Chain A
Amino acid sequence: MEAGMVTPAPALVRFSGIQKTYDGEHLVVKNLDLEITKGEFITLLGPSGSGKTTTLMMLAGFEVPTHGDIYLADRPIKNVPPHKRDIGMVFQNYALFPHLTIAENIAFPLSVRNTNKAEAQERVRAALRMIKMETLAHRRPGQLSGGQQQRVALARALVFNPQLVLMDEPLGALDKRLREQMQLEIKQLHETMGITVVYVTHDQSEALTMSDRIAVFNDGIVQQIDRPDALYEHPVNSFVAHFIGENNVLAGTVETVEKEYCRVALAGGGAVTARAINVSGVGASTSLSVRPERIAIMPDGTSSDEPNRLPAKVKNTIYLGDHALAVLDVADNREFMVKLQPGTHDGLRPDSLRPGDSVFITFRPEDCLALDPV
């Protein structure tokens, strides 16, 4: 594990050799080893069916691992029923109890624990204050908007001070603007309360915004666990490179390898120098990954001695407000995206690119990653 944490804190949760199958034939989670540090905000990110929700449900106690064990504060919890795990959970559709008021919903975890009345009342009031919904205490969930319901679900999962809070795509049902606002609110709660959060989402931008660390799931395997910036800058394989952020792919074959760098002959003609991240050696096929914002467009005919210089044909440009995208035809890639930032871009202005123009693109070798073939 290359967490890169400044202070190595003790693990609160440890998954050890976890396997899970539903049908006895196909593993949904294959050999998961994962440690979650106290106070950390970790996101399980992946496409649907990648095993992230199953992992969360095993941690919550709603699914039983087929093999391996999960430790919470160094205690194996395989045989601990969900209600004794002391884990708060926020569900995708909030799961607020429709027959109880907001205050009763928030008081529920306290009352099942037989917390004394005065203290419970005080804590419910504090929780309502925290989500700024004191005035709505006696409404029923059905009378609230999606964002308000989400806040209540959050307060309900936090009010009993659980060791761990799980969130299963909690913002999936909200519109974009509200989702972004809630992301910040949840992040803020995490920071002020110092809670440990395990968050599941398939939205990579949500994961990047909120997480201390992200575990990228695919096909039942954790592909990479790292800080958001490290995942973006240093993906270990093509899946992660594709899943996190925008990415251009060029297929090629490794010609030479020299230390960290390799020379790759492109399938569509030409050759570039790339960082050898995940290549098996000379002659192996590879797929190159270049981020759209790390590419410059040069007018046709300008000479330069850059090592990575490829001819391209402009297909069209897309205006996106704060930036523009140029769609180019480069080597074997017919949808090669280049991000143009008006003002800061030292190449061509977007409005000077016309469909059919011949141009050159350049990028630095360190921005081009040679990864496993797709």
Chain B
Amino acid sequence: MTNALLTGADASTEVPLKRRLRRAERRRQVKALALVLPLLVFLLFTFAGPIAGMLWRSVEDREVRQVLPQTVAALADWGGKDLPDEKAYAALASDVLAARASGTMAIAAKRLNYALNGFRTILTSTARNLRAIPEPGTAKEALGKINPAWRDRTTWTTIKDAGGPITGFYLLAALDLTRNVEGTIVEAPPDQAIYRGVFARTFVISLSVTVLCLILGFPVAYLLATLPPGRSNLLMIFVLLPFWTSLLVRTCAWIVLLQSKGVVNDSLLWLGIIDEPLRLIYNRFGVCVAMTHVLLPFMILPLYSSMKAISPAYMRAAASLGAPPIAAFLRIYLPQTLPGIGAGSLLVFILALGYYITPALVGGAADQMISYFIALYTTETANWGLASALGAVLLLATVLLALVYGKLVQGQHVTGGMKN
């Protein structure tokens, strides 16, 4: 009877059971999706959207195409070996006149000037001196007379390269590379090649700050994890205290402390340790100190949470098995804090990469990080293309780092051995 009942149940419910399960799961999934939907929409508009926009702007190139459409079209099948033919000159003359009439010449001039210094002058002088469309067949001569630069192949390749609609120009520039007149990628001239140095500086500062945070944060996190609850709560408040004041205030406080007539220098002078004020700010030292202070909690908190999960029994077990304290620490405790060290370091490093205000306020000219240049290009010179390209390179580097970290963590993933 039992058998019959079982098979009966099987036959009648197997398919509906699966469908029921799917339906139940679907309802759960919809519910979960509904819960995260507001955040998802928010992130889409404030995060994914701007990033996509930035990536697009780093390769978009429309200004020249918009202002000099006929020229760009005429240059489309120009080989670039010699000067372009008469048709291109005529198109340029017509474009220049049209641009002068609509007042859009400056847009193209700005873009072309990025690629070739002095292009602005070429264009404005041409616009000023070109009275009317030259007689057919004389455009080449007429333009060459107005500005000899039109007899230079480079001038024309610059226009062709900037013809868009998509360009690698900004991304190459962000990596200190450029295209020469033949169109091959070469190193940028030394006076323009600054970004690799800035990226390297950004990484060095971020790395120093990360290492400083780790060295300073590790013992604090250890204390937090091992002190009795009452005292560790108090300590935790001190760790979180920096979050209660604004970044700007904290950075300015460092200026007060570290400047040549600041608290630290005055104290050292008074104590007779130094004879003249040390230069503690507006240099690399000041940047590292201020950034370490600001970022320390981001190191301490992940470390703390990984240490909190380590039962004191492990260290006791290691001791009872014959491991001296240092060996026990290195072989038992430290490996178990690795996920925390990794998470904290990655967090601090990535946050440090994007630091702008602190280096801008307490750093010297040689301590400005990549964000400073991104800000410079967006707010001062409105060179959105280059700003976006620098941002894109920074984003790429960060994503690569995160991937490497993910691989490392996966490689030595730690599962809890304690049953309770």
Contact = CB atoms under 8 A, between A and B. Distances in A.
B228 interface: no
B420 interface: yes
A60 B336 contact: no
Contacts of A149: 417, 419
B313 A95 contact: yes
Interface in A148-206: 149, 156-157, 160, 166, 173
B336 A83 contact: no
Contact of B317 (A91, A99, A173): A91
B320 A87 contact: yes
A109 interface: yes
A97 B332 contact: yes
Contacts of A156: 321
Contact of B415 (A84, A93, A140): A140
B322 A160 contact: yes
B419 A93 contact: yes
A92 B312 CA distance: 12
A83 B332 CA distance: 14
Given A95-B314, A97-B314, A112-B327, A146 B419 contact: yes
B8 interface: no
Nearest to A89: B320
Interface in B308-364: 311, 313-314, 316-325, 327-328, 331-332, 335-336
A98 B416 contact: yes
A88 B417 contact: no
Nearest to B335: A99
B418 interface: yes
B17 to A, nearest CB: 31
Classify chain B: how many residues form its interface, as a range.
20 to 34
A99 B311 contact: no
A94 B419 contact: yes
Contact of B316 (A62, A146, A157, A173): A62
B414 interface: yes
B412 interface: yes
Given A89-B317, A91-B313, A83 B324 contact: yes
Nearest to A156: B321
Interface residues of A, number: 36
Contacts of A146: 419
A17 interface: no
Contact of B420 (A81, A82, A112, A173): A173
A160 B331 CA distance: 18
Nearest to B332: A97
Contacts of A91: 313, 316-317
Contact of A109 (B313, B321, B412, B420): B321
A113 interface: yes
B419 A160 contact: no
Interface in A90-118: 91-99, 108-109, 112-113
B112 to A, nearest CB: 60
B282 to A, nearest CB: 45
B139 to A, nearest CB: 76
B336 to A, nearest CB: 6
B327 A98 contact: no
Contacts of B324: 81, 83, 112
Contacts of B311: 93, 95
A94 B417 contact: yes
B417 A157 contact: no
Contact of B336 (A87, A98, A143): A98
A49 interface: no
B320 A140 contact: no
Contacts of B336: 97-99
Contacts of A235: none
Contacts of B332: 97
B415 A88 contact: no
Interface in B278-294: none
A365 interface: no
A61 interface: yes
Nearest to B324: A83
A195 to B, nearest CB: 15
Contacts of A95: 311, 313-314, 316-317, 418
Interface in B395-420: 412, 414-420
Interface of A: 60-62, 81-89, 91-99, 108-109, 112-113, 140-143, 146, 149, 156-157, 160, 166, 173
Please list the 10 inter-chain residue pairs (A to B) with the smallest Cβ-Cβ separation, ordered nearest first. Answer: A141-B417, A142-B415, A98-B417, A95-B317, A89-B320, A109-B321, A95-B313, A82-B319, A112-B323, A96-B417
21 contacts: A62-B319, A81-B319, A88-B321, A93-B418, A94-B418, A94-B419, A97-B317, A97-B417, A98-B414, A98-B415, A98-B416, A108-B318, A108-B323, A112-B321, A113-B322, A140-B415, A141-B417, A149-B417, A149-B419, A156-B321, A157-B321
Interface of B: 311, 313-314, 316-325, 327-328, 331-332, 335-336, 412, 414-420
